[in-house]
Structure 1
């Protein structure tokens, strides 16, 4: 990541922005904790820029952990100051960006920052972190390397905590959708016959991966029509007939919602004048199709594979 590359690290620490990303908070929050509670760098460098060491970072992590339990910030700060910091060598090895550790921008730290912001239900920090990772990594890498693993980690916490993290998963998903839409360029109009129609199959409400694909297609100049969650079969058929898309992406998260007969039916829908009728290319998307055999219909295994399969069918407008 550019903000933490260069001489600053060699001089012995992280910038405030880099610390904020690792903690999953806004940089203004880090500065506020310094002013209000005395949790700033123990060693100040000359000039205006703070440099945070591994011990400083460990103390702030303790502050984050305590506030997550519901303690008031002032009490959490007092305990963070009083409790002994972890062994400096261990902390140094565990925090990218500190001399001797992995390179800054380590995906594990970015995932941890997103997860912490989500657990605290902190909208400002979460939006800032998502915007940063999308801008610096690009949509496909941000999704596959950072955002999706974070969602999976939160989901595992949910399973282990008897659904106590349900609100965290929903909160994170909603903010991911918002970040995708803010980062995407205006949707291209394109040719009507070069559109990709995207929809979840009937009974399927997991729309987030389809939102990611929609944003990636728009980013590449490929026009889309998004119909979202649980589109009834009759409505799906009518939408295909009315719009005449080049491709249809059907998302199924669960095997109970994936329907091979529906996919074959949509692939057989025709439109156009007699003698030159057309049919869409239907892609079965999502893990729900893993147990369904639909001969002749592509089943991309991930986001990059879906984009590769759609490009020769839909092309790009620019």
Structure 2
């Protein structure tokens, strides 16, 4: 929207775009005026006509805003994501496979770790982390979690599935090295007392696929340790995961703000918490991935 993008001529009117993304025309005008989210090549006094690229950026902004991301931050993420060229596939991309939710649940119920790991390994290699996590892993965890909540005998099933997911995601991460081009310096950790780290494992693996080697600290990281880690090395993005409201305490986010370029509050535990100004809430793996990849590296003195 600020750069010129070759492609089809502008065809979308402002009213059509507003209807397509589900906002009022006045909201679209406000985004244009305050955040530069206007039509490519628009001239003052002329009717706005949006390209397909413009529409894609605005749809991304609308999705992020719906997840609680401030408009100014959402605009930056959407632009950076749209500008980033998609990696060229080594061969013609195959259509996404069907979710493996039932295979994961059946294998876990049989306590067959090999079957669960085999299904996960194949799916991750074929489809990548984000679709497998969102379409298969999360539904499988919910299904097994409901069983464990109703019957203590199934708690072992839940633990086995969690172990298999962690193992498969770590193995998948290890397949990828850091890219040569500069990438964000990322810190991943769970809040103090939070022992559910699968969401962070998924983000770590998704970043590895894109050549971003994040520093992961895992479960229950005390506030003092988070702050010390951010002080020890320049941190472009700090991601703190909270699964439950009990562990979603905003004080640690406030302490990180002066130490990291971007601070992300990830996970459902932050829901309903008043976050410090400047902290970006993310509620999905895709949203967290976009926010990390859109982060601009901090200037490092002497670097």
Q: Same fold (TM over 0.5)?
A: yes
**Structure-2 residue corresponding to 1:135:** 125
What displacement does 1:301 show? Answer: 1.4
Question: Which residue of structure 2 aligns with residue 213 of structure 1?
Answer: 203
Alpha-carbon deviation of 1:160? 2.0
Identify the structure with bigger relative contact order (alpha carbons < 8 Å, sequence gap 6+). 2
Please list the CA deviations of residues 156-178 of structure 1 after superposition, one character each: whole Å capped at 9, or x if unmatched. Answer: 111122x2211111111111111
Instruction: Tell me, yes or no, if structure 1 residue 151 matches structure 2 residue 127.
Output: no
Q: Secondary structure at the match of 2:169?
A: helix
**Structure 1 segments (4+ residues) deviating >4 Å:** 189-193
Per-residue CA distance 1:134-171 (angstroms, 9 max, x = gap): 1222210000001111011000111122x221111111
Deviation per CA, 1:223-255, whole angstroms, max 9, x where unpaired? 210111111111111100001110000000111
Partner SS, residue 186 of structure 1 = coil
Shift of 1:280: 2.8
- Please, which runs of 5 or more residues in structure 2 have no aligned partner? 1-94, 298-303
In structure 2, the partner of 1:291 is: 272
Q: Could you tell me which residue of structure 2 aligns to residue 304 of structure 1?
A: 286
Shift in alpha-carbon separation, 1:211–1:290, aligned structure 2, 3 A: same
Q: For 1:168, which of 152, 157, 160 is the aligned residue?
A: 157
**CA contact 2:239–2:264 (8 Å) conserved in 1:** yes
Matches of 2:234 and 2:181, distance apart in 1: 10
Residue 257 of structure 2 aligns to a residue in which SS? helix
CA shift for structure 1 position 190: 6.6
* Cα pair distance change 1:314/1:164, threshold 3 Å: farther
Distance in 2 between residues matched to 1:211 and 1:218, nearest whole Å = 11
Does residue 210 of structure 2 align to residue 253 of structure 1? no
The structural deviation recorded for 1:191 is 8.4
SS in 1 for 2:271: helix
Deviation at 1:268, TM superposition (A): 2.3
State the alpha-carbon separation in 1 of the partners of residues 178 and 271 from structure 2. Answer: 32
- Verify the 8 A CA contact 2:186 2:235 in the aligned structure 1: yes
Pick closer, same or farther for the CA change 1:169–1:247 going to 2, 3 Å: same
Q: Structure 1 length normalisation: TM-score?
A: 0.59
Judge conservation of contact 1:193–1:244 (CA < 8 Å) in 2: no
Q: Which residue of 1 aligns with 2:170?
A: 181
Residue pair 2:183, 2:212 contacting (<8 A) in 1 also: no
What TM-score, normalized to structure 2? 0.62
Alignment of structure 1 residues 211-290 onto 2, 5 Å: 211-269=201-259, 279-290=260-271
The CA deviation string for residues 66-121 of structure 1, in whole angstroms up to 9 with x for no partner, is xxxxxxxxxxxxxxxxxxxxxxxxxxxxxxxxxxxxx99543xx211111111111
